[in-house]
Amino acid sequence: MNYLVKIKDLEIPFCIKNYKTSKSIKLYFKENILTVTKSPYISKKEVEKLIRKNEEKIYEEYKKILELKRLKEEQWQIGQTILYKGEKYIIDIKYNEKNIIKIVIDEQNKIFKIIISKEIKKEEEKNYLIKKAVRKQFKANTEAILEEKLPYWSKITNIKYNSVNVRDAKTKYGSCIPSKKALRFTSRLVMLEEEAIDAVIVHELCHIVHPNHSKEFYNLIERYIPNYKQIDKYLKKNSKLITI
DSSP codes of every residue in 1-61: -EEEEEETTEEEEEEEEE-TT--S-EEEEETTEEEEEE-TTS-HHHHHHHHHHTHHHHHHH
User: Does pLDDT of 123 surpass 80?
Assistant: no
Tens of pLDDT, residue by residue over 30-55, are 878 999 999 988 888 898 899 999 99
Looking at this protein, which amino acid is placed at residue 110? K
User: Does pLDDT of 92 surpass 90?
Assistant: yes
User: Does pLDDT of 110 surpass 90?
Assistant: yes
Q: Which of 232, 142, 149, 157 is nearest to 196 (CA)?
A: 232
Strands (E), 52-86: 81-84
User: Does pLDDT of 187 surpass 90?
Assistant: yes
User: Does pLDDT of 72 surpass 90?
Assistant: no
Give dist(CA 67, CA 64) in Å, integer.
Answer: 5
User: Would you place residue 241 in the very low, low, confident or very high pLDDT band (cuts 50, 70, 90)?
Assistant: low
pLDDT at 113: 96
Q: Number of helices and strands (H, E) in the chain?
A: 6, 11
User: Does pLDDT of 104 surpass 70?
Assistant: yes
pLDDT at 230: 95
* 3-state SS class at 160: coil
Give dist(CA 57, CA 44) in Å, integer.
Answer: 20
Average pLDDT over residues 108-118: 93
CB-based contact 97:113 (threshold 8 Å): no
CB-based contact 191:242 (threshold 8 Å): yes
Q: Which domains does the chain have, with CATH numbers?
A: 2-63 (no CATH), 140-242 (3.30.2010.10)
**CA dist list (Å): 127 to 72, 122, 123, 132, 134:** 10, 9, 6, 9, 10
User: Would you place residue 204 in the very low, low, confident or very high pLDDT band (cuts 50, 70, 90)?
Assistant: very high
pLDDT at 178: 95
pTM, rounded to two decimals: 0.71
* CB burial string 2-18: b at 16+ within 10 A, e below: eeebebeeeebebebee
pLDDT at 126: 83
Residue 43's φ and ψ, nearest 5 degrees, are -75, 160
User: Does pLDDT of 202 surpass 80?
Assistant: yes
Average pLDDT over residues 17-31: 87
Q: What percent of the chain has pLDDT over 90?
A: 58
